[in-house]
Every structure is written in structure tokens, then in C-alpha cells.
């Protein structure tokens, strides 16, 4: 339920399970993602067109999408040049007056930034020596609001690289490029995620970010409802990988994906592997499915996955609505003050959960329509936890620009504060106290903090 300023919304980036390819009794047509063992040649395309319609070709990935009859899927999978097939998987997750500052590094600290040891409460209280300068972070999400220039400094958004991709199984299967749609989002998810990394303008008051001097590349891969398809996300990942291989070859590049679904799609896997091979560091949310398990791509081992943690100081009695930017988290960060949210996905067998970061009651800009008016909400979800880690990785990459994806993941795991199974009594907005409990499958390697990760970075 959406409410006015500073009321809680849990935004889930995860979706219900999809039917497996070739599911018994399935009829009609399906949108199929096909990964090849060879290049996409004219001969290969001729054979595949004999089984259905070829829609979009991913040259870099040796992959393509097709629309085929359900009874043709097995025959396509059996072709000698086909490596894997899968149905396109569902995924969730105008210039105006501008912000006067170029960054929010001197802005107010908030509880979540205090937890990860980036700031203390109050203005001009950054506690780390890095701010993300020289690092690009691609936010693959719903894009940005029309009013993004009221929230973020123009200098921090790489409009020259911003992009939007649409289509997928929901629109006849073809993946298309959609110029300028990235800055006309009506969902709000991508703007809120970006605000955690950069910071934001809260009606004239600068709020700090994890890495306020990074350069954000907005890539819209989810529609106005906050959902999309793995083929579209794969195109977005490939687009960023190609930037890293080309014009951004001399800069560290990080991807944040606060989105996911129930299974890893073949093309999505190829796109992630392609990007990681190019040197792109990928961070993704673990999912909001609780005991039902993690979502993908977060659960895929090479991706840095993030669970959602909270703080027992939330809604502390007598503080009112200002606790989020006025209460001081104990130093050093104490696990006894932290908990894992009930919605945060637990890792099942074969799933890889890396670290936890704040993902409960995170304040940021959030609108559900176009226009000049600004609004702000508390949002909760692993979607909110992931950009904390993407920002920390940007700080690490600023310190050590040669940082590789494997190094980043290893450092984060080693630097995390171990978090055992447990329970905490947590204040609620209505004044009650709720006991929240979690198991060892919910924490990964533990709670990550920026200072610890930077301490292990070369």
C-alpha cells in the first residue's frame, strides 16, 4: 500500500515461478531463448527458421530469441549446434529545473549509511576517504523519473550512455532499443535505487550517498509496471559490457540489478559471463521471497548477491519521523544491533548468497507518475540493499581501478561481519515491538561495511 511521505512500502523485485520449457501439456507458442555452441551463421539461421521465427540475434553471445510452437522446443534443443534453450523469463524489480550541487558528499548522513560506515548523522560527516570518483555504475532498472534533475546533479548522470530496451516475451519476443524512454519512468523503482548510490536532494537538503561522485548510467530494462523479461535484461547487460570493452575500457564499471526471477535464463547467463569476462562487476538483489529461496540472476555464483538487513533503532520511541537521519548507530557496527528482514530471500541448495546490507526503511525519491512534483518514501526490499553494495564496490574500484569481479566478491566475503542465526526485537511504526527471526541461510558471509571492504582492497 502506497502512502504519503515516509510511509513504508516493500518493493519486491522477484516473481512467481515460470513454467519450464516443454512443460507437459503446454500448447500454443512460446518465446524461446537459444544459446549456440557456434557463431550465428546464415546456415544456422536457416535451420532454426525451419522450426519457428527468429526474432532478436545477440551476436556477442552467440544467442538469439525465437517464437516457436511448444511442440518444437525439444527438436530445437536437440540440434547439434544448440547449447541450451529456455523460455524468456519474467523479471521484476523531461528536463526541468536542476539541482545546484554537483555531488552530495557533504550531505546529511542516514542510518543506513551509518551502518555501513560511510557517514555519521548530520551534514559533512563522511567517514571514508573515497567517494566513487572515476567509476561508472550502470543501474539496470526502470530508468529515471522525468524529474530526475530535481533529485540528482546532472553531472552525475551519464546521459550520453543512458539507454532503454524493451520488448521480450511480453511484446512478441523482439528486443528493441527505445531512445530517451529511460528518463520517462513512471514506476519509481530505478530512481530510488539510484538515490542510495548517489544521494539526493530532499527539498533543498542534500542527503549523502554511498558513492556520491560516481557516474550513473541509467539503463531501462523494466517496464512502467516494474517488470520485464530476461532477454531484455540480457541486452542491457551486453550493452554495458560493450561500453566497458570500448569507450569505458579505462574506467571501472559496476552493474546494479535490483531485480530477479525464479530461474537463470540461458541468454542471461551468457550475458553475465560476457560482462564479467570484460571486467564488469555485477551486483544483484537476493530477492524478496523469504524461505522460498533466492531469485536470479542474484543466485548465480559469479554475481555478488545481497540480502536485506535492518537496524533495531528503527522507529525508536520518542524520536518520531527523524530517527532515520538523527540517531547514531553504535560504533563499531555491532551485529547485536542488526537483523535480517523477514522478506529477504534465504539461500537454497545450489544458490549463492554473498553478503547483507541495509534494505529496511530506506528513504529516497519515489513517484508513481510523470511531472514536476517530487515525493519521497521509505522503501524496503533487497532492491534497496543491492545499491549499498554496488556503491561500496565503486569505492573499492576508485581505490584500486584494476579491481576484478572475482577480487571484489572475495574481498566483500572476507570483509563481512559474520552474522549467525538469531532474532531481534524491533520497533514498528505503530509503536509495537516485533520479534524477527532468521536462520544461517539468510545472511551469506555477513553484514558488509565500506571501511572493512576498503581495508582489504589493495
Whether residue 141 contacts residue 237, with contact meaning beta carbons closer than 8 Å, is answered with no
Specify whether 71 is catalytic.
Answer: no
The one catalytic residue among 62, 141, 265, 441: 141
Specify whether 103 is catalytic.
Answer: no
> Omega into 276 within 30° of 0, i.e. cis?
no
The one catalytic residue among 383, 388, 441, 445: 383
> Omega into 332 within 30° of 0, i.e. cis?
yes
Contacts of 377 (CB under 8 A, 6+ apart): 2, 3, 5, 6, 7, 8, 9, 192, 363, 364, 366
d(CA 395, CA 412): 12
- What are the distances in angstroms from CA 411 to CA 116, 155, 451? 15, 30, 12
The neighbour count for residue 19, using CB atoms within 10 Å, is 12
d(CA 131, CA 209): 9
Whether residue 306 contacts residue 428, with contact meaning beta carbons closer than 8 Å, is answered with no
The 3-state DSSP class for residue 235 equals helix
Whether residue 408 contacts residue 393, with contact meaning beta carbons closer than 8 Å, is answered with yes
Specify whether 423 is catalytic.
Answer: no
d(CA 406, CA 409): 5
The one catalytic residue among 103, 164, 185, 189: 189
The 3-state DSSP class for residue 50 equals coil
Beta bridge partners of 176: 166
What residues are labeled active site? 141, 189, 383
Amino acid at each position: 500500500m502506497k502512502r504519503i511521505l515516509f510511509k513504508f512500502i516493500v518493493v519486491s523485485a522477484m516473481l512467481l515461478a515460470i513454467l519450464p520449457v516443454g512443460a507437459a501439456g503446454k500448447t500454443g507458442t512460446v518465446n524461446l531463448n537459444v544459446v549456440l555452441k557456434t557463431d550465428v551463421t546464415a546456415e544456422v539461421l536457416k535451420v532454426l527458421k525451419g522450426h519457428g521465427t527468429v526474432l532478436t540475434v545477440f551476436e556477442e553471445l552467440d544467442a538469439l530469441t525465437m517464437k516457436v510452437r511448444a511442440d518444437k522446443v525439444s527438436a530445437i534443443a536437440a540440434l547439434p549446434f544448440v547449447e541450451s534453450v529456455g523460455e524468456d523469463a519474467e523479471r521484476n524489480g523531461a528536463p526541468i529545473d536542476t539541482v545546484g550541487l554537483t555531488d552530495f558528499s557533504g550531505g546529511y548522513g542516514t542510518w543506513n549509511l551509518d551502518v555501513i560506515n560511510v557517514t555519521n548523522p548530520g551534514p559533512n560527516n563522511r567517514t571514508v576517504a573515497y567517494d566513487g570518483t572515476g567509476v561508472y555504475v550502470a543501474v539496470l532498472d526502470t530508468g529515471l523519473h522525468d524529474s530526475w534533475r530535481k533529485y540528482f546533479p546532472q553531472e552525475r548522470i551519464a546521459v550520453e550512455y543512458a539507454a532503454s530496451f524493451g520488448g521480450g516475451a511480453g511484446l512478441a519476443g523482439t528486443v528493441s532499443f527505445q531512445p530517451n524512454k529511460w528518463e520517462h519512468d513512471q514506476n519509481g523503482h530505478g530512481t530510488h535505487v539510484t538515490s542510495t548510490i548517489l544521494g539526493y536532494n530532499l527539498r533543498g537538503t542534500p542527503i549523502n550517498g554511498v558513492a556520491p561522485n560516481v557516474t550513473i548510467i541509467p539503463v531501462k530494462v523494466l517496464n512502467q509496471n516494474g517488470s520485464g523479461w530476461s532477454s531484455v535484461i540480457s541486452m542491457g547487460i551486453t550493452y554495458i559490457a560493450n561500453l566497458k570493452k570500448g569507450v569505458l575500457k579505462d574506467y571501472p564499471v559496476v552493474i546494479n540489478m535490483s531485480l530477479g526471477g525464479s530461474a537463470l535464463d540461458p541468454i542471461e547467463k551468457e550475458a553475465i559471463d560476457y560482462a564479467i569476462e570484460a571486467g564488469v562487476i555485477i551486483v544483484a538483489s537476493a530477492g524478496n521471497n523469504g524461505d522460498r529461496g533466492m531469485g536470479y540472476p542474484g543466485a548465480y555464483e559469479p554475481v555478488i548477491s545481497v540480502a536485506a538487513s535492518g537496524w533495531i533503532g528503527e522507529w525508536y520511541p520518542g524520536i518520531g519521523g527523524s530517527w532515520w537521519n538523527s540517531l547514531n548507530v553504535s560504533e563499531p557496527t555491532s551485529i547485536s544491533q542488526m537483523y535480517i528482514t523477514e522478506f529477504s530471500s534465504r539461500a537454497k541448495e545450489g544458490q549463492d548468497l554473498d553478503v547483507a546490507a541495509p534494505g529496511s526503511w530506506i528513504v529516497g525519491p519515489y513517484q508513481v507518475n510523470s511531472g514536476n512534483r517530487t515525493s519521497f518514501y521509505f522503501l524496503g526490499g533487497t532492491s534497496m540493499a543491492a545499491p549499498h553494495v554496488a556503491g561500496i564496490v565503486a569505492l573499492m574500484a576508485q581505490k584500486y581501478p584494476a579491481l576484478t569481479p572475482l577480487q571484489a566478491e572475495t574481498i566483500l566475503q572476507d570483509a563481512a561481519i559474520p552474522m549467525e542465526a538469531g532474532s531481534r526485537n524491533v520497533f514498528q511504526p505503530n509503536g509495537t515491538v516485533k520479534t524477527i527471526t532468521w536462520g544461517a541461510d539468510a545472511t551469506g558471509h555477513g553484514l558488509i561495511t565500506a571501511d572493512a571492504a576498503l581495508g582489504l582492497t589493495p
